[in-house]
Structure formats: C-alpha cells, structure tokens
Structure 1
Amino acid sequence: MVEKTFAKLPDPKTRNPLVFPDGSHDPATVFLSAVIDHPNIDVGDWTYYNDRTLPEDYASALAPYLFAGAPEHLSIGRFCQIAEGVQIITATANHPMDGISTFPFAVFDPDRMGTFRASLPRGKDTIVGHDCWIGREAVLMPGAELGCGVIVAARAVVRGKIPDYAIVSGNPATVIRMRFTPAEIETLLDIAWWHWPPEKIARHLALIEAGDVAALKACT
C-alpha cells in the first residue's frame, strides 16, 4: 500500500499552527508548548488548545488554581486535543475541611496567606496521557489521571484514573466503551507512535489515521 504523507509535521513551537487556504493563521488554535511557560505545567509537543476567547494567559485559562511553586504539577502528553472551556482543577483549589468552617479566612490576611497554603495537604498531580481528546467544557478534578488515547465527552467531570483508550462521559464521568480490544491497546502502547521522530510519524500518517492496529504494528 502506498501511504499518503505530509512533507513534515508543523513545528510544535509554532503559536498558531492551523493555516487556512488563504494563508492566514487561525488565532484560536494554539500549540500549548508555545504559549505556556509555567514551572508546574509540562506540555508535550503538538498538543493544541482551541479557544475563540483568545485567553491572555493560557496556563490560567486551563488550570486557574495552579500557582507557580504549588506542591502539585500538571502534565499533558503529546498530540492532545483540548477544546474551549476545559477546566483543570488542581489540588490547591481545596479549602480546609478539618475545622468548623471551610471559609478560607487566612487567604484574606496577608500575614497568614503563606502559612495557609503550606498547611494544605499535598494533592496528587494531574496527568493527561498522550493523544487524548478533551471535549468542550469538560472538567478534570484534582488528581485525575487520563491514560493515552482517552476521549472525554463535552462537559464530563472526570476524577480518578481513566484507562488507556477509554471513552468517558457524564458527571461523574464513567467509561462508555473502550476504543480497542485489550490486545490492541497493549500493542498501541508498545508502539507508542507519539514518541517516533516527526519524519517517521509523517511517513506513516495514513496508518495512524486509520483503525488497523495490526497494520501499524507491521510497519514498526
């Protein structure tokens, strides 16, 4: 079979990689690695975010409660697709729950704010695997962990660990179905095409875009 290929993948450091036929760039589509510089956020190459509101601060738009130096981190893999309105709620959004009131009094006292943050328990990191598609206005709760190839439906509320290549929806999000058989998922994770050199990915795009796991395995 002769595969149709692109000459090359777009530069993952390009801010606006989507080019219209007239040569103009779509301002709403950004490669996150080009627009996020945050010590607590790691974003893989070719992961894009589409948001027509054109945020000034993409880190704050996605993870509004994750401050620089927070005890937890957000990790997003390569080739993820994130829709407008997605919110990633990290553990530092929590309020104290051991007292009579959950009101964060110390937040409004400059002398106590630092100790308040230090008093909160360390939450789990939030992890988004490679090649995940997160639909419009979905919410990832603190410590959510998405495997590779996960699809999150619009407005789903995700908590806990989601298995590789699952499709989830609802509040709380539950697995609707798996995209591939267990054997195929094991093969795809072994292939890990997202770690291939860009030239190899471009050369085998037809197979990556198709649903034949065995054929993709045969070319490795």
Structure 2
Amino acid sequence: MKQHLFNHWSEIKYLKDIVTNPLIEVGEYSYYSGYYGDQNFEDGCVRYLWGDIQSRELFNPIEQYGWQLDKLIIGNYVCIASGVVILMGGNHNHHSEWVTVYPFVEQLEQSYEPKGDTVIKSDAWIGMNAIIMPGVTIGEGAIVAAGSVVSKDVPPYTIVGGNPPKEIKKRFTDSEINMLMEMRWFDWDRKIIERAVPLLSSSSIEKLFDFYNSEVK
C-alpha cells in the first residue's frame, strides 16, 4: 500500500523543512499544501530542476557542461496549493528554430539555453493545479487562480487567472499597494508580525501603515 506524503488536506509542509536542492531558495514560513496531488515538492511540484538528491547522483551539468542553471527563488509567507507545477530549466534543449526539436545526446551540451530564474515573491498564493512556466516572476501579494498557466510576469497584489492568464483585478488601490510595497510586512521580525496579526488579517491597510510608522520604520 502506498505511503501518502500528507495525512490530510489540512496538513502543510514548510518549505524550509523539506527543501534540499541547492538551486531552490525558500523564505520563512512559506508552505506547500500537497495532499491531493500527493507529490514531493522537490520532484513533483518542482519539475526538471537538477539538484535534487537523485539527479546529483546521475550527472552534474554545471561541472560537465558548464551550464548556468536557473534557480527557483521563493520569498516569505508564500502559499503553494496541491497540484501546482513549477516547470524549471532541466529540459530547455528543444529548439523550435532547428530542423528537429529532438534533443540528440550529441548536441545536449550545445543546445541548453537558460530561461532565467523563476521567482515567487513573498505573500503570493499559487492556487490548486496552476502551472508556472520557466523564468516567470510572480510579484508580492499576487494570487494565481486555480488551473492557470502562467507564462508572463504577474505584478504585485494582482489576481490573475486563465490560460493564458488575464488580470482579474488588483487586490487594492494603487496608493494602498504603494504602502504595502513600502512596508513589506513579510520581511519584519517574526515577533513584530505576531503583534500585527490582527491588522494583517483585516482590510485596513492604513491602520497597518500607522503600526508600521510607529513600531517598525
């Protein structure tokens, strides 16, 4: 009988506790809620990224080929739902401008092209079964709706959905977003955040800004 990675849909795993891949950088309190997908984060949610234990045992493209490999960079307090797929740079050897897209072994060293780091910034929420394409940056506080296929950058505090994703709405006004980007609450000391939880769990950005000015700035 298969051993499930998660015991219940309410269970989360903090990325800091489970990530071993040196090409994945994760912030504090970011988590993966993977019950329904029942996939390992490093080799299920994240795909085609060299650096997990198994791939390190098989080959080393940095030493063997001199490749500059893309990284996955995740900020603080990021929420990643079950079934999310983050496509990375391990298979960028297919060239649409060549006669064939087939990656012949003899051409692997020359054919690799990095796509750039994939960045999920702090306080973003990636909905169930969303797909994040290589080299994308998802801004602070952004929400990616379930089932979306994200192939372009997502601005901060913006909700997007669909394939290709379209902007559904900004979460707040421009002035409120400017305040949030100045405060960057997710970078505060944890003890200060705990004091601010009632404000963070409300819609009053101005009151949070007052707290920031008096207690943080």
Q: TM-score range by the shorter chain?
A: 0.7 to 0.9
Q: How many residues align?
A: 190
Deviations 1:51-102 (Å, cap 9, x if unpaired)?
11543x4211121111125611110111011111100112333313332111
Deviations 1:161-193 (Å, cap 9, x if unpaired)?
111000000000111100011111010011011
Which SS does the other structure have where 1:169 is aligned? strand
Deviations 1:91-136 (Å, cap 9, x if unpaired)?
3333133321111232xxxxx4xx6155312211101010011000
Aligned-residue identity in percent? 32
Distance in 1 between the 2:8 and 2:186 partners? 25
Which SS does the other structure have where 2:49 is aligned? coil
Q: Is residue 90 of structure 2 the alignment partner of residue 89 of structure 1?
A: no
- Output aligned runs, 1:1-220, within 5 Å: 28-52=11-35, 53-55=37-39, 57-68=40-51, 71-94=69-92, 95-106=94-105, 112=106, 116-117=108-109, 119-220=111-212
Distance in 1 between the 2:42 and 2:173 partners? 35
AA paired with 1:168?
V
2:59 corresponds to which residue?
Answer: none
Which SS does the other structure have where 1:162 is aligned? coil
AA paired with 1:217?
F
TM-score of the two chains, using structure 2 as the length reference:
0.81
Runs of 4+ in 1 over 6 A off after TM superposition: 24-27
AA paired with 2:133?
M
1:5 corresponds to which residue?
Answer: none
AA paired with 2:45?
L
Which SS does the other structure have where 2:160 is aligned? strand
Deviations 1:182-212 (Å, cap 9, x if unpaired)?
1110100110111111111001100001011
TM-score of the two chains, using structure 1 as the length reference:
0.80
Q: Structure 2, unaligned stretches of length 5 or more? A: 52-61, 63-67, 213-217
Distance in 2 between the 1:183 and 1:197 partners? 24
- Greater percentage in helix: 2
Q: Structure 1, unaligned stretches of length 5 or more? A: 1-15, 17-23, 107-111
Distance in 1 between the 2:166 and 2:90 partners? 25
AA paired with 2:32?
Y
- Indicate conservation of the 8 Å contact 1:133/1:150, yes or no: yes
Distance in 2 between the 1:160 and 1:82 partners? 18
Report which structure shows greater RCO (CA 8 Å, sep ≥6).
Answer: 1
